[in-house]
């Protein structure tokens, strides 16, 4: 990577920044189609009930109502990867999100009025809201659509992983700690609420969905399966997405419902969630209970981890149930660990179900592991920084789970944040004064490991790119990847600009239409810069193989002597040059009479995990460490985060501006998870479905965030880059909890660390 880079690594504003800040961007809420109807969904009044009857006759008679659907007048398949989720429910409801009926009407108000006119008779039943109750043998079956994969009727998903000899490692462990951790239910809080506009043509049987999905091709397949259609008759057009964060990785009932309303009426139908509905009916981060036992030898080297996780699956299954696939990597491979057993069970309850959320289980796993490491350090009497550096991962390490760390910035990241927090401006209150001082300060550390080069989960982890240079020298990148605000289209344009010497203002990125763009698995696993970036590089290479011979011919030089720069192709030998567009025109309009267009598909060299979940599933791995200083008010229990120091192995900085946005946004999201956010649920009801009582951090709460990129230049990444999107959120809550624990000398074992929990902990201590 000694190449002198022109735009890569330089702060570059997002190419979609202007339309976003001026309001020109077309979000789903802005779409208006001719003859468009408005859809609305009737949800259950009670989390658990038998449905005795549904009477839609009054709603149907209301003027302006075009269509009312219930489970009885639709022909569909169940959804979710476990196929355990009916789109509309009949006979019984199992959680407060349950969809019973839907209407399409000529206005939102009429649609709403129609919902009020639908009469549903319920027989309310007792629910089960605790996974430990639901897993008991005598508990009634909650979900009746499962396939009997597991002997216990309320188990939705189970993962078991192990490596090393647990008994031997336990035997040589001088120090062993055991602890239980409880992680809350939080939600994405996307600024744009869930939305869809469906447009079905009865003439040709084609369905166009203006959707916010972040996985358009998987979505096309899922919608087709749900609606019993041919996938290619479904066209997904991705609108500007007002926040994804993993929430749009799965398909939820409202989406096929909206499509069905359009199919029944033959008119476009738009369905938009209110904020309250968004809180109640959109996915959450998986709530779970961790039981962790871990050991260290006399020198502080980690020996084993024995982990049992119980996940509250909710009433149906979504991707939340598969988060153990990611969590087990943290336990098997973050810091060196000779023996590990990880066992997770996702249990059906009558609570709302979880989807995927930035970090995919990793913030929960990292919290449990990093809290345990602090407890081990205390047990040993070792410093919390030293024990981490001693056990840190290293370059060239092949973990027992089979992850290959070709590059690894773990130790450097740790050393950086340990050093930086030492030099902080806030003097620590001397420990002898702790008993008398109102404000106490503490420092906490945490690291994280996450895939950074895609994740081999689906049959393909690839991404296709088509490049087209027009006769005027402008480049169009048609990429399979999607922009959900993470800045990927800017990075892809930067890569193409770097390689072809075309100014970024002359590059267009087309990435929103499944009828046009080549296949891509979607936005997840922090993969887009790595996979789509490599795909662009591959396409550039192919395109240059077409352009360079012509340029060499025109410049009377060799192909190897050409450089692409500032819209020109230059010969480094005879210093002659020619405009790129001239070469394109020569190829197109003269000999050989071809378009300057080419397509490339990049598939990462990673491998699938075997049936023991072992294998090198990613092309690269990202590491990050954070150190946090907090101040705890022992009178009120309030925790003030003073500074967060972030050192992250990003491989290579592609766009410093975009990267800073990811880091700052991630840290603030992690801080919300640590201190404020929780969907409060009582017997299946959500008690705070609004921003008034669901506490998202505001700009006023943002601490000092200090970022130190670690550039390890991974040979497989574009210019050496790795995935960065999820990492900044993952260790934050763990580091904050560790800092609070350090400040007040009590163990923090659940999130969020509310003022009340802090005061109670202090009360119990003194």
Least distance CB 580 / another protein (angstroms): 49
Complex with another protein: residue 174 or 438, whichever CB lies closer: 438
Span from 146-154, 606-614, 651-659, 748-756 in contact with another protein (CB under 8 A): 748-756
Q: Kindly state whether residue 438 participates in binding another protein, applying the rule CB under 8 A.
A: yes
Binding-site string for another protein from residue 635 to residue 674, where x marks contact by CB under 8 A and - marks none: xxxx------------------------------------
Q: Kindly state whether residue 697 participates in binding another protein, applying the rule CB under 8 A.
A: yes
Least distance CB 274 / another protein (angstroms): 4
Least distance CB 439 / another protein (angstroms): 11
Q: Kindly state whether residue 77 participates in binding another protein, applying the rule CB under 8 A.
A: no
On the 0-12 / 13-18 / 19+ scale of CB atoms within 10 A, 508 is middle
Distance CA 253, CA 345 (A): 25
How many other CB atoms sit within 10 Å of the CB of residue 230?
A: 11
Complex with another protein: residue 42 or 721, whichever CB lies closer: 42
Least distance CB 479 / another protein (angstroms): 37
Q: Kindly state whether residue 765 participates in binding another protein, applying the rule CB under 8 A.
A: no
Q: Kindly state whether residue 228 participates in binding another protein, applying the rule CB under 8 A.
A: no
Least distance CB 711 / another protein (angstroms): 35
Distance CA 41, CA 273 (A): 9
Complex with another protein: residue 281 or 421, whichever CB lies closer: 281
Q: Kindly state whether residue 550 participates in binding another protein, applying the rule CB under 8 A.
A: no
Least distance CB 692 / another protein (angstroms): 7
Complex with another protein: residue 283 or 637, whichever CB lies closer: 637
Among residues 77, 152, 274, 476, the one that binds another protein under rule CB under 8 A: 274
Span from 56-64, 126-134, 597-605, 629-637 in contact with another protein (CB under 8 A): 629-637
Q: Kindly state whether residue 687 participates in binding another protein, applying the rule CB under 8 A.
A: yes
How many other CB atoms sit within 10 Å of the CB of residue 558?
A: 13
Q: For 348, which DSSP code?
A: E
Which residues does residue 644 pair with via DSSP β-bridges, in sequence order? 628, 705
Among residues 232, 573, 756, 765, the one that binds another protein under rule CB under 8 A: 756
Complex with another protein: residue 291 or 633, whichever CB lies closer: 633
Least distance CB 275 / another protein (angstroms): 9
Least distance CB 520 / another protein (angstroms): 35
Least distance CB 663 / another protein (angstroms): 21
Q: Is 551 strand, coil or helix?
A: helix
Complex with another protein: residue 549 or 755, whichever CB lies closer: 755
Which residues does residue 289 pair with via DSSP β-bridges, in sequence order? 182, 310
Q: Kindly state whether residue 691 participates in binding another protein, applying the rule CB under 8 A.
A: yes
- Supply 501's token pair: 């010497």
Q: Kindly state whether residue 121 participates in binding another protein, applying the rule CB under 8 A.
A: no
Decide if 327 contacts 362 (C-beta within 8 A). Answer: yes
Angle, helices 755-765 vs 732-744, to 10°: value is 40
Least distance CB 90 / another protein (angstroms): 23
Number of residues that bind another protein (CB under 8 A): 33
Least distance CB 676 / another protein (angstroms): 6
Distance CA 252, CA 255 (A): 6
Strand order, beta sheet including 288-296: 155-163, 339-348, 302-314, 288-296, 175-183
Distance CA 598, CA 761 (A): 63
Q: Kindly state whether residue 680 participates in binding another protein, applying the rule CB under 8 A.
A: yes
Binding-site string for another protein from residue 346 to residue 385, where x marks contact by CB under 8 A and - marks none: ----------------------------------------
Go through the chain and tell me how many residues it has: 766
Residue ranges in 396-415 that form contacts with another protein under rule CB under 8 A: none
Q: Kindly state whether residue 277 participates in binding another protein, applying the rule CB under 8 A.
A: yes
Q: Kindly state whether residue 594 participates in binding another protein, applying the rule CB under 8 A.
A: no
Q: Residue 428 contacts by C-beta under 8 Å, 6 or more apart in sequence?
A: 441, 443
Q: Kindly state whether residue 450 participates in binding another protein, applying the rule CB under 8 A.
A: no
Among residues 30, 291, 513, 701, the one that binds another protein under rule CB under 8 A: 701
Distance CA 112, CA 104 (A): 10
Binding-site string for another protein from residue 38 to residue 67, where x marks contact by CB under 8 A and - marks none: --x---------------------------
Note the Cα 259 to chain centre separation in Å: 25
Q: How far apart are the first and last CA of the chain?
A: 58
Q: Residue 514 contacts by C-beta under 8 Å, 6 or more apart in sequence?
A: 216, 217, 220, 234, 235, 236, 237
Alpha-carbon distance values, 627 to 288, 529, 658, 731, 732 (Å): 25, 26, 22, 9, 8
Span from 84-92, 272-280, 419-427, 619-627 in contact with another protein (CB under 8 A): 272-280
Among residues 78, 92, 112, 182, the one that binds another protein under rule CB under 8 A: 112
Q: Residue 207 contacts by C-beta under 8 Å, 6 or more apart in sequence?
A: 198, 199, 200, 201, 223, 227, 229, 233, 234, 235, 259, 262, 263
Among residues 78, 182, 577, 754, the one that binds another protein under rule CB under 8 A: 754
Span from 308-316, 330-338, 394-402, 685-693 in contact with another protein (CB under 8 A): 685-693
Q: What is the dihedral of CA 233, 29, 15, 702, to 10 degrees?
A: -130
Least distance CB 530 / another protein (angstroms): 35
Q: Kindly state whether residue 439 participates in binding another protein, applying the rule CB under 8 A.
A: no
Three-state SS string over 616-631 comes to CCCCCEEEEEEEEEEE
Least distance CB 683 / another protein (angstroms): 14
Span from 107-115, 174-182, 349-357, 500-508 in contact with another protein (CB under 8 A): 107-115
Task: Dump the DSSP string for 73-115.
Answer: G-----BSTTS-B-SS--SEE-STT-EEEEEEESSHHHHHHHH
Q: Kindly state whether residue 106 participates in binding another protein, applying the rule CB under 8 A.
A: no
Cα dihedral sign for 391, 392, 396, 399?
Answer: positive
Complex with another protein: residue 36 or 721, whichever CB lies closer: 36
Q: Kindly state whether residue 582 participates in binding another protein, applying the rule CB under 8 A.
A: no
Complex with another protein: residue 77 or 106, whichever CB lies closer: 106
Q: Kindly state whether residue 695 participates in binding another protein, applying the rule CB under 8 A.
A: yes
Distance CA 101, CA 69 (A): 6
- Supply 228's token pair: 């019993």
Note the Cα 744 to chain centre separation in Å: 33
Q: Kindly state whether residue 116 participates in binding another protein, applying the rule CB under 8 A.
A: yes
Going by their DSSP bridges, the two strands 439-451 and 175-183 should be labelled as unpaired
Span from 156-164, 476-484, 609-617, 751-759 in contact with another protein (CB under 8 A): 751-759
Note the Cα 692 to chain centre separation in Å: 25
Q: Residue 247 contacts by C-beta under 8 Å, 6 or more apart in sequence?
A: 187, 188, 190, 282, 283, 355, 356, 357
Complex with another protein: residue 377 or 758, whichever CB lies closer: 758
Residues of the shown chain interacting with another protein in the complex, contacts defined by CB under 8 A: 40, 108-109, 112-113, 116, 274, 276-277, 438, 635-638, 675-676, 680, 687-688, 691-693, 695, 697-698, 700-701, 754-756, 759-760, 763
């Amino acid at each position: 990577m000694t190449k002198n880079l022109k735009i890569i690594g330089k702060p570059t504003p997002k190419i979609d920044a202007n339309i976003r800040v001026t309001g020109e961007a077309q979000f789903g809420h802005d779409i208006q189609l001719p003859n468009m109807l408005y859809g609305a969904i009737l949800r259950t009044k009670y989390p658990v009930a038998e449905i005795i009857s549904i009477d839609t006759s009054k709603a149907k008679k209301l003027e302006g109502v075009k269509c009312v659907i219930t489970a009885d007048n639709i022909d569909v398949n169940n959804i979710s990867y476990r196929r355990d989720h009916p789109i509309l429910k009949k006979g019984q409801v199992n959680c407060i999100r349950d969809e019973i009926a839907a209407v399409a009407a000529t206005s939102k108000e009429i649609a709403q009025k129609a919902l009020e006119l639908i009469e549903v008779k319920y027989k309310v039943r007792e629910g089960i809201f605790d996974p430990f109750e639901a897993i008991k043998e005598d508990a009634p079956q909650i979900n009746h659509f499962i396939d009997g994969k597991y002997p216990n009727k309320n188990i939705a998903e189970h993962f078991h992983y192990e490596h090393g000899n647990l008994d031997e490692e336990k035997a040589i462990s001088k120090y062993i700690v055991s602890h239980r951790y409880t992680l809350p239910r939080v939600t994405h809080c996307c600024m744009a609420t869930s939305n869809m506009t469906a447009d079905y043509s009865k003439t040709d049987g084609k369905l166009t969905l203006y959707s916010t999905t972040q996985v358009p091709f998987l979505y096309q397949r899922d919608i087709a399966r749900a609606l019993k259609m041919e996938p290619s008759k479904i066209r997904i057009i991705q609108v500007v997405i007002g926040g994804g964060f993993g929430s749009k990785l799965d398909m939820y009932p409202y989406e096929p419902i909206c499509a069905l309303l359009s199919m029944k009426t033959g008119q476009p139908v738009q369905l938009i969630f209110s904020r309250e509905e968004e809180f109640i009916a959109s996915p959450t981060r998986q709530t779970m209970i961790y039981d962790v036992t871990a050991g260290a030898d006399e020198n502080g080297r980690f020996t084993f981890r024995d982990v049992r996780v119980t996940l509250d699956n909710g009433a149906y299954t979504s991707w939340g149930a598969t988060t153990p696939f990611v969590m087990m990597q943290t336990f098997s491979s973050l810091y060196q660990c000779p023996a590990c057993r990880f066992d997770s069970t996702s249990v059906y309850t009558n609570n709302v179900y979880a989807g995927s959320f930035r970090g995919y289980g990793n913030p929960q796993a990292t919290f449990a592991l990093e809290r345990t490491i602090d407890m081990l350090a205390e047990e040993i009497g070792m410093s919390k920084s030293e024990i981490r550096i001693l056990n840190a991962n290293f370059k060239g390490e092949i973990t027992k789970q089979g992850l290959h760390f070709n590059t690894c910035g773990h130790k450097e990241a740790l050393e950086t944040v340990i050093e930086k927090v030492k030099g902080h401006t806030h003097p620590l209150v001397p420990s002898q004064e702790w008993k008398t001082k109102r404000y106490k300060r503490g420092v906490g550390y945490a690291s994280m490991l996450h895939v950074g080069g895609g994740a081999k989960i689906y049959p393909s982890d690839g991404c296709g790119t088509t490049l087209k240079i027009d006769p005027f020298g402008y480049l169009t990148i048609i990429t399979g990847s999607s922009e959900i605000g993470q800045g990927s289209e800017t990075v892809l344009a930067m890569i193409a600009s770097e390689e072809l010497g075309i100014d970024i203002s002359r590059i267009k990125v087309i990435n929103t239409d499944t009828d046009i763009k080549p296949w891509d698995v979607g936005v997840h696993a922090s993969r887009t810069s790595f996979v789509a970036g490599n795909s662009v590089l591959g396409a550039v290479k192919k395109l240059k193989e077409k352009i360079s011979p012509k340029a060499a011919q025109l410049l009377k030089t060799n192909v190897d002597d050409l450089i692409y720069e500032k819209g020109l192709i230059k010969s480094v030998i005879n210093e002659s040059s020619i405009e790129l567009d001239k070469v394109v025109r020569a190829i197109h309009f003269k000999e050989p009479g071809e378009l300057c267009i080419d397509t490339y598909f990049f598939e990462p060299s990673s491998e699938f995990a075997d049936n023991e979940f072992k294998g090198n599933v990613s092309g690269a791995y990202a590491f990050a460490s954070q150190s946090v200083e907090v101040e705890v008010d022992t009178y009120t229990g309030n925790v003030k985060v003073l500074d967060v120091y972030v050192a992250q192995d990003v491989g290579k900085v592609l766009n410093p501006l975009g990267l800073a946005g990811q880091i700052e946004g991630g840290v603030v999201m992690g801080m919300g998870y640590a201190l404020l956010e929780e969907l409060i649920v009582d017997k299946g009801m959500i008690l705070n479905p609004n921003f008034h009582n669901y506490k998202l951090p505001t700009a006023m709460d943002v601490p000092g965030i200090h970022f130190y990129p670690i550039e390890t230049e991974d040979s497989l990444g574009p210019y050496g880059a790795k995935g960065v999107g999820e990492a900044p959120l993952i260790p934050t809550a763990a580091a904050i909890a560790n800092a609070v624990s350090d400040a007040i000398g009590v163990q923090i074992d659940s999130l969020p660390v509310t003022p009340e929990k802090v005061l109670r902990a202090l009360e119990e201590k003194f």
